Amino acid sequence: MAKKTYRSMDDFAAACGVSRPTLSKYFDDPTQIKEVTRKRIEAALKKSNFEPNLFARHLNRKRTKNIGILVPTMSDPFYVQVVSLIELELRAKGFWPVQISSHTRPELEEEAVRTLLSLKVAGAIVAPLGAGSRRSALARLTDAIPVVCFDSPSAFDLPFVGNDNAQSVAAIVQYLCRSGEPPVFLDVPHMMANTNERTESYRATMRREGHEPLVIECESSPSWEFERLGYEQMQRMFARGGLPGKTLLCANDRFAFGAMAAAFASGLKIGRAEGCDIRIAGHDDHPLSRYTCPSLTTMAQNAPEIAAKAVELLLKSVEDEEADRKVAPSRVILEATLVMRESA
Amino acid sequence: MAKKTYRSMDDFAAACGVSRPTLSKYFDDPTQIKEVTRKRIEAALKKSNFEPNLFARHLNRKRTKNIGILVPTMSDPFYVQVVSLIELELRAKGFWPVQISSHTRPELEEEAVRTLLSLKVAGAIVAPLGAGSRRSALARLTDAIPVVCFDSPSAFDLPFVGNDNAQSVAAIVQYLCRSGEPPVFLDVPHMMANTNERTESYRATMRREGHEPLVIECESSPSWEFERLGYEQMQRMFARGGLPGKTLLCANDRFAFGAMAAAFASGLKIGRAEGCDIRIAGHDDHPLSRYTCPSLTTMAQNAPEIAAKAVELLLKSVEDEEADRKVAPSRVILEATLVMRESA
């Protein structure tokens, strides 16, 4: 069925059966109008070729100097670190950051988008929730304001800044192979696109190095409590008779913390020194990874550059928006650095 | 010199030499007007008995459902934990949280206040920066909207929710005395009121238990990087010939993480088990404290209740505000729970 086309906001308002001011209000801030009216407008939008973004953008031209930052959770220090850097960078450039977390819940990500729109932010930097994201939530945001993604790319064709997981996992796998027994990969549940990239890079690198890859999938149900997942997975392996190898590469540092705690509780000595029983490595260079016992060998994402590039791309989009220029979305992929410590 | 009194907004605008709409704008959102004008109004305010809050409140009556949350830093998982709980509680009650961090910098705390006012939040829950806070920043916020403090009380007479540091430190000192050598207290720099409370409770409890208190002051310059401070302080003590005792109570868990890492690096075996060299305990029940090697004995603040009470007090203040009721500020002090793990 061909979608209906409307010439103007008035035409479309009439078709929705709402007044023109109500329709304006909807594009300006969907939370200001009654839910029943909102639903009517949204149903009409689906059946039409009407381009709300064009109108929304004009309506919203008078925006604030506020920039929204939306992440899945602030309980993960990687997000905290990047968000802090983004905030400081924005403030240095005369913008005011406003941070909202979706608490890893799709319905709260959708609410967070509504809140950001009601605050009339000039743009947003978003780490999408991944598999759980509701497409409609991010669509509403990108229709209204410039958006840049970081950490995990979105289903939309948006500017993106992230870690080069192929490079970073290859670097640590090569290091572990060079310095001892090739690693077994302890994976996390795949909730985001970047976890796939890490697992694939592990497999490819092991084969290139002439070793058979061995990926241990996490059997706990998906969760963002990675320390607990790592602890439980190790306990399961111990219960089944022991570990599958003497070198474990964990998909992230938080999972490695849990794995280390479980190994320690089982009486194993962790480290690369003489007389140790097991090597454990992580990925991300969590702020606490230098203070674990022993300190954790890991890959440091280039957080300062991720933050700087995300802000740069966003402010460029905001300017282009103001100048009515359309630019192709950029993609910035940054290499990580091996941090050799005592654990592996 | 008696301060000048004004009867109305018009009178006061005339005295400032600004138009009435500009003055309204100032109370509505000080960031909307030129700095030179803002300074002129602020100078006039200081010399008068004019009560901006009254007018500001009337002007701002049409506020949003947004609630601001302002904390010194999100790099501290205690704030992350309480903020997350506050956010979920607010959302459950139909309010939308907006989080801003002052990155432990007084000038950014002041900017954060301006941002919150420009967002027209209906109220704010604040963990003040402590010693570094600029009095003017918080004054502007409390003049305009209801504010509740948590973690560390403010210099103002505001509703407050926090941990009972006298009780919590007494509980862990008693436990440590009961189960082994009395503890030495490794203190953090005193940037907030609640750190004094902890040190005083340690001293008082040790005396009550019949032991001489020994407080090791942190010699690093004040910083929120507590893990680093703990690590450095231990290194200093090792360099001077050794530790002052076999049981160390750290002022918070993050400091304890650093202390544990330094003890481990020096070859000491940490724990309460037979054959261990040193016991280390913390305070706060940091999310990672159960995953350290060994797991950390600590006091768990009642984070869920701190969050619930802060939201309850704030929403009550918002209602009272709307009903033009004046109520006495409340103070809720919550007990913490001993979490016995392997480190002490």
B292: chain A residues, CB-CB within 8 Å:
261, 292-293
DSSP 3-state of B33: coil
Instruction: Please write the tens of the pLDDT for every residue from B309-318.
Output: 999 999 998 8
Higher pLDDT, A244 or B136: A244
Find the radius of gyration of the CA atoms of chain B.
23
Question: What is the arithmetic mean of pLDDT over A156-166?
Answer: 91
Query: What domains lie within chain B, and their CATH numbers?
Result: 9-59 (no CATH), 66-162+304-334 (3.40.50.2300), 165-300 (3.40.50.2300)
B64: chain A residues, CB-CB within 8 Å:
118
Question: What is the arithmetic mean of pLDDT over B284-293?
Answer: 94
Note the pLDDT of residue A17: 85
* Count of Cβ atoms closer than 10 Å to residue A102 Cβ: 25
Higher pLDDT, B201 or A15: B201
Note the pLDDT of residue B51: 53
Note the pLDDT of residue B216: 97
Are A291 and B97 in contact (CB < 8 Å)?
no
pLDDT band, residue B62 (cuts 50/70/90): low
Cα separations in angstroms, A140 against A15, A45, B275: 21, 12, 61
Q: How many residues does chain B have?
A: 344
- d(C-alpha B3, C-alpha B296), whole Å: 57
* Count of Cβ atoms closer than 10 Å to residue A212 Cβ: 8
Q: For residue B15, give how far its alpha carbon lies from the nearest alpha carbon of chain A (Å).
A: 30
Q: Spell out the residues 6+ positions from residue A315 whose beta carbon is closer than 8 angstroms to its own.
A: A93, A95, A123
Residue B44 backbone zone (phi > 0: left; psi -120 to 50: alpha; other: beta) = alpha
B34: number of CA atoms within 13 Å, CB side?
Answer: 4
**B74 closest CB neighbour out of A80, A100, A257:** A80
Question: What is the arithmetic mean of pLDDT over B280-286?
Answer: 96
Answer whether residue A145 shows pLDDT above 80. Answer: yes
DSSP 3-state of B150: strand
For testing the chain B interface, which of A234, A253, A288, A290 should be mutated: the one with the most B CBs within 10 Å?
Answer: A288
* Closest C-alpha among A259, A251, A261 to residue A282: A251
Answer whether residue A45 shows pLDDT above 90. Answer: no
Higher pLDDT, B54 or A168: A168
Instruction: Please write the tens of the pLDDT for every residue from A207-248.
Output: 999 999 999 999 999 899 999 999 999 999 999 999 999 999
Question: What is the arithmetic mean of pLDDT over A72-76?
Answer: 90
Instruction: Please write the tens of the pLDDT for every residue from B114-133.
Output: 888 888 899 999 998 877 77
DSSP letter at B326? Answer: -
**B231 closest CB neighbour out of A84, A101, A291:** A291
Note the pLDDT of residue B29: 65
Bridge-partner residues for B145, per DSSP? none
Note the pLDDT of residue B333: 94
Instruction: Please write the tens of the pLDDT for every residue from B159-215.
Output: 999 999 999 999 999 999 999 999 999 999 988 778 899 999 999 999 999 999 999
Instruction: Please write the tens of the pLDDT for every residue from A313-323.
Output: 999 988 887 77
User: Average model confidence (pLDDT) for chain A?
Assistant: 88
Question: What is the arithmetic mean of pLDDT over A106-120?
Answer: 87
Higher pLDDT, A233 or A328: A233
Note the pLDDT of residue A55: 42
Residues of B with CB under 8 A from a CB of A: 64-66, 73-75, 77, 80-81, 83-84, 87-88, 91, 96-101, 103, 108, 111, 114-115, 118-119, 227, 231, 257-258, 260-261, 264, 270, 287-288, 290-295
Question: What is the arithmetic mean of pLDDT over A303-308?
Answer: 96
Surface-to-core class of residue B316, CB atoms within 10 Å of its CB (0-12 exposed, 13-18 middle, 19+ buried): middle
- Candidate ranges B145-159, B185-199, B296-310, B311-325; pick with highest mean pLDDT: B296-310
Is the peptide bond prior to A294 cis by the omega test (within 30 degrees of 0)?
yes
Q: Over pLDDT 70: what percentage of chain B?
A: 92
A121: chain B residues, CB-CB within 8 Å:
none
Are B118 and A83 in contact (CB < 8 Å)?
no
Answer whether residue A266 shows pLDDT above 90. Answer: yes
DSSP string, B262-322: HHHHTTPPBSSSTT-SBEEE-SB--TTGGGSSSPPBEEE--HHHHHHHHHHHHHHHHHHHH
Answer whether residue A84 shows pLDDT above 60. Answer: yes
Note the pLDDT of residue A29: 65
B343: chain A residues, CB-CB within 8 Å:
none
Are A84 and B103 in contact (CB < 8 Å)?
yes
DSSP string, A104-117: T-HHHHHHHHHHHH
**B80 closest CB neighbour out of A74, A261, A294:** A74
* Count of Cβ atoms closer than 10 Å to residue A67 Cβ: 29
* Closest C-alpha among B219, B220, B215 to residue B186: B215
Answer whether residue B65 shows pLDDT above 70. Answer: yes
Cα separations in angstroms, A130 against A72, A107, A156: 9, 13, 12
B214: number of CA atoms within 13 Å, CB side?
Answer: 12
Surface-to-core class of residue B335, CB atoms within 10 Å of its CB (0-12 exposed, 13-18 middle, 19+ buried): middle
Answer whether residue A135 shows pLDDT above 80. Answer: no
Q: Over pLDDT 70: what percentage of chain A?
A: 91
User: Average model confidence (pLDDT) for chain B?
Assistant: 88
Letter for the amino acid at A26? Y
- d(C-alpha A255, C-alpha A229), whole Å: 7
DSSP 3-state of B115: helix
- Is residue B343 within 8 Å of residue B280, measured between CB atoms? yes
Instruction: Please write the tens of the pLDDT for every residue from B225-251.
Output: 999 999 999 999 999 999 999 999 999
